[in-house]
Amino acid sequence: MSHLFSVWFVATFAVCNMVVWIVAAMLGHGLPLTELTTSMGEFSLPKLLTTLLLARGVLQLMIDVVLLLVMFSLSEPLLGRVRMLLTGMVSALIGTLIGLSLCAGFAALMQGTPVIDRVRFVLSPLTLGVGMLMAASAFSRPLWRRRMRLIGYASIVAVLLFSGNPGTYCMLAAALTGHLIGSLMAKRDGTAVAHVDPMHWQLSTSFEARRMFAAFALVLALGPILAVTSPAHAGPLSSLGLLLSPVDPDTARLAARLAGTARHGCFFQFDLLRSSMPGAILRSLLPTAVMALMAWGLYRGRRLAAWVTAVCDLGATVIAVAYYLVMPLAFAPDGLVSLASHGAITACVVNAVLPAGFAVALLMSLRHFPIRTDARHVWRGLAAIVATLLACMAVYLGFGLSHPHDFRPTATPSDLLVELPGRFVPIGFLSHTRLRFMPVTFLSSVVYQGVGFVFWTMVLIVCARWMRDMLVDDERARRVADGLVEHGGESMSFMATWEGNRYWFSPTGRSAVAYRVINGIALTCTGPFGERGEWLTDLREFARFCATNSWTPAFYAVHREQRDALVDSGWYSLEVGGEMVVDPRAWKTTGKKWQDIRTAINKAKRDGIVDVLTTFDDAGSDVREQIEEISEQWAGEKALPEMKFTLGGVEELRDPRVRILYAVDADGLVLGVTSWLPTWRDGRIVGWTLDFMRHRTDSPNGIMEFLIARMAERLRDEGQADPDRAAEFMSLSAAPLAGMNPDRDNTDESGHTDTGTAMLQHALQIVADWMEPAYGFHSLFNFKRKFQPGEDPVYVCYPDPAMLPQLGLAVMRAYVPSVSAAEALAMIKTLQR
């Protein structure tokens, strides 16, 4: 068992802690063991080292046991027991020395050393584990390496920024030390995984990018709670966290500090806060809940969550500027000179840059969040928030004006207006420079505290509805579409069930069309699906539906029958690709044309490579991680972002109806993977369509030929074993914008091509040529021709040639939702090669 030592070590750690607690209790010491704390001013090395192995309380022990077990279990199989223990101890000792040495300097920059000298702190037993975990990450596969480092550093930095306990600085230094040791060991013995790790967030797949953004957003959301619950307030963002907490600053002490001769610790007086009322506590916790909900929305790809998070983080930046610059100017005797001498400008920069930078990064990456919320839902929600705000303001002002003597001192109209902002924001300094009055009756206290709570409760409810409405509407429509696809469809109809599509359902509800609206173009994802007898009628009815909404319909990737029906109705059409179709019932690889395929199959057999047909969920966690790793590696090598629309990614593999066929060597390393989408007719699967197709950069040549050939052989064998359930076709799908034949179906009897059609054809060809160096559509098209398939053309059909420019842009944006300046530059470099 590769984790046996880890289990025994953590169990021994827990038992030893409980024994020490029992002995301490017999000697009259209770929990938590405050006697073990030390400070920079009264430093005790023995106490500090003791806390590396001793938890101070029951809750901390429970958390430490779980996290240490995870750290040790991940590190042991990668490093080995001896190296794991040595790395952990060396990293902890070096990290403690570096952390304590730098802590005083950082604290002086942020808050002032006299205060930090008095802060009591301990080391965490996790300091032992974090170094070995970061060292082990150097020996893990790229995807796990990224996750171990992302989660590890994000957690440490969150505690450090919003708490600032000197022990956390030591933990961060230990993690960095372990990181360096692991990199050196991996480089020395050559056992590290030799793959390029695409760490740049712009080159990640949307699925992985959402994880990173959501994790960071959650860190910022939970920061105020970390700041409030921490016994130390020495972190760079402690003040910002406390500003978002349910407390008010002592402005009198602040003014005294600014007017006095002492410079150290004056801004820390903002952090010496008195407890506030229960209503204010709840009022300040609700925004944290809102931001945590938005982090979940980021993970699910909701664009509205990205906008709300960005706006709130920019608001936090404004708060930091107001807290450190605007408000202190009212007390500073020498203006900005006084603030600069007290460190306010430096603190302002530190507290403002992080949320502002995250907001900018989020707005630059909106392409990773394609799921939009219906504008009507957004406006209704905003109306509810504004109405609640106005009602709460009216209740507060009305009660204050009608019952001024319920406050001490008596509330005046001007005081009520000055206090008004403070009833709704989770910070006190914006509402007043001094406390104007306090409620003295039960009813006045309810109004004083309750209006803010009611307002933020409504904000939370609206945000939850925004996320839920998008999810519920999206999932309800998709469930119906799922059922219709399983009733009947064409080779590419399963793509209509993917996230990002909207659905139009026929009046009978037995058929549907999947589409997405881009630049006023309702671009369909293939043709209708469901009841086959309604398909031709659906073409006409969907066009009427689009006209009602002032959209121009465009049927993309439809086949010959639907194309002919639309052309007969006066529409225009253009071939946009050729779908490659193989009949698995007649599959064979004899003859000269099949030499490459036979070579790939024979080579795989000689090398001990086998293929496995399964689903993503049934593949096992190790295989799933490797597939995600291959996908990230593939995305990191592209000059443009991952394509969507009719090209699926890792998210689309998770559907249990999708088959995956992967190649694995004798060591369990996944070399390549393909996915196959089902096609139903009258409730029976009649074919499979190739979608996801990726392999490692160092996989042996011919691995994809091997997988596709093996899928054809499997379908042939399944059909021979059960002829009634035999697959009628195996589609290799169509390479987007490749294999276009301008002369087929686009010219009349005299050989003349419509001017608009020719214009669109040239525009799409330019797009295809522009993307070719990055995506290799033509290479993919030629690769599929190795399997000697039949070619079935697919078309885009449109009613109005005047909309051709918008249609060309809509097709490009459907595949690549946005291209940043950096990606465009990378594309230019690719074209220059």
Residue 282 banded pLDDT, cuts 50, 70, 90: low
CB 2 within 8 A of CB 136: no
598 SS3 class? helix
Q: Where in the chain is the domain with CATH 1.20.1540?
A: 1-199
Handedness of CA 312, 315, 317, 319 (dihedral sign): negative
Output DSSP code: residue 642. P
Q: What phi and psi values does residue 248 have, to the nearest 5 degrees?
A: -120, 145
Residue 743 banded pLDDT, cuts 50, 70, 90: low
Q: What would the pLDDT profile of 166-207 be if each residue is shown by its tens digit?
A: 777 788 889 999 999 988 888 876 654 444 443 343 445 566
The mean pLDDT of 337-365, rounded to a whole number, is 72
Q: Which tokens is 475 given?
A: 């999932």
Q: How far is CA 251 from the centre of its chain?
A: 40
Average pLDDT in the chain: 76
Higher pLDDT, 557 or 820: 557
Higher pLDDT, 425 or 622: 622
Higher pLDDT, 292 or 121: 292
Instruction: Choose the most confident range, by mean pLDDT, from 102-116, 176-190, 363-377, 414-428.
Output: 176-190
In this structure, of 332-341, 455-464, 523-532, the range with the lowest mean pLDDT score is 332-341
User: Does the pLDDT of residue 264 top 60, yes or no?
Assistant: no
In this structure, of 99-108, 510-519, 550-559, 707-716, the range with the lowest mean pLDDT score is 99-108
Higher pLDDT, 386 or 303: 386
Q: What would the pLDDT profile of 469-483 be if each residue is shown by its tens digit?
A: 544 446 678 889 989
Residue that is written with structure tokens 């013995």 in the block: 189
In this structure, of 237-246, 553-562, 636-645, the range with the lowest mean pLDDT score is 237-246
The pLDDT score that the predictor gives to residue 172 is 87
The pLDDT score that the predictor gives to residue 736 is 58
Beta-bridged to residue 792, according to DSSP, are: 579
**Residue 292, amino acid:** A
Higher pLDDT, 150 or 68: 68
The pLDDT score that the predictor gives to residue 714 is 92
User: Does the pLDDT of residue 796 top 80, yes or no?
Assistant: yes
CB 36 within 8 A of CB 54: yes
User: Does the pLDDT of residue 212 top 80, yes or no?
Assistant: no
Q: Where in the chain is the domain with CATH 3.40.630.30?
A: 581-731
- Alpha helices for 123-165 (secondary structure H): 126-137, 142-162
In this structure, of 77-81, 93-97, 334-338, 596-600, the range with the lowest mean pLDDT score is 334-338
User: Does the pLDDT of residue 506 top 70, yes or no?
Assistant: yes
Distance, CA of 398 to CA of 416 (rounded, Å)? 10
User: Does the pLDDT of residue 73 top 50, yes or no?
Assistant: yes
| Beta strand segments in 499-543, E | 502-505, 511-518, 521-524, 529-530
Rounded to whole angstroms, the maximal C-alpha distance in the chain is: 105
The pLDDT score that the predictor gives to residue 114 is 52
Distance, CA of 768 to CA of 773 (rounded, Å)? 9
Q: Which residues, in sequence order, are CB contacts of 612 under 8 Å at separation 6+?
A: 619, 623, 661, 662, 663, 664
Handedness of CA 468, 469, 471, 473 (dihedral sign): positive
Candidates 433, 438, 465; CA nearest to 290 is 465
Q: What would the pLDDT profile of 226-251 be if each residue is shown by its tens digit?
A: 555 555 555 555 555 444 444 444 44
CATH code, 581-731: 3.40.630.30
The pLDDT score that the predictor gives to residue 817 is 67
In this structure, of 131-140, 211-220, 667-676, the range with the lowest mean pLDDT score is 211-220
The pLDDT score that the predictor gives to residue 112 is 47
The pLDDT score that the predictor gives to residue 806 is 79
The pLDDT score that the predictor gives to residue 250 is 43
Cα angle 62, 65, 66; round to 5: 90
Q: Hey, what CATH topology would domain 1-199 get? A: Rhomboid-like fold (1.20.1540)
The pLDDT score that the predictor gives to residue 530 is 92
CB 801 within 8 A of CB 754: yes
The mean pLDDT of 36-61, rounded to a whole number, is 71
Residue that is written with structure tokens 């990726």 in the block: 694
Distance, CA of 706 to CA of 723 (rounded, Å)? 25
What pTM did the predictor assign? 0.60
The pLDDT score that the predictor gives to residue 96 is 83
The mean pLDDT of 644-669, rounded to a whole number, is 87
Higher pLDDT, 332 or 159: 159
Q: What percent of the chain has pLDDT over 70?
A: 70
Residue 592 banded pLDDT, cuts 50, 70, 90: confident
Residue 33 banded pLDDT, cuts 50, 70, 90: low
523 SS3 class? strand
User: Does the pLDDT of residue 689 top 90, yes or no?
Assistant: yes
The pLDDT score that the predictor gives to residue 120 is 62
The pLDDT score that the predictor gives to residue 730 is 92
The mean pLDDT of 788-814, rounded to a whole number, is 81
CA dihedral 116, 314, 366, 636 (to 10 degrees): -30
The pLDDT score that the predictor gives to residue 199 is 36
Cis ω on the peptide bond leading into residue 409 (within 30° of 0)?
A: yes
Beta-bridged to residue 439, according to DSSP, are: 407
User: Does the pLDDT of residue 140 top 50, yes or no?
Assistant: yes
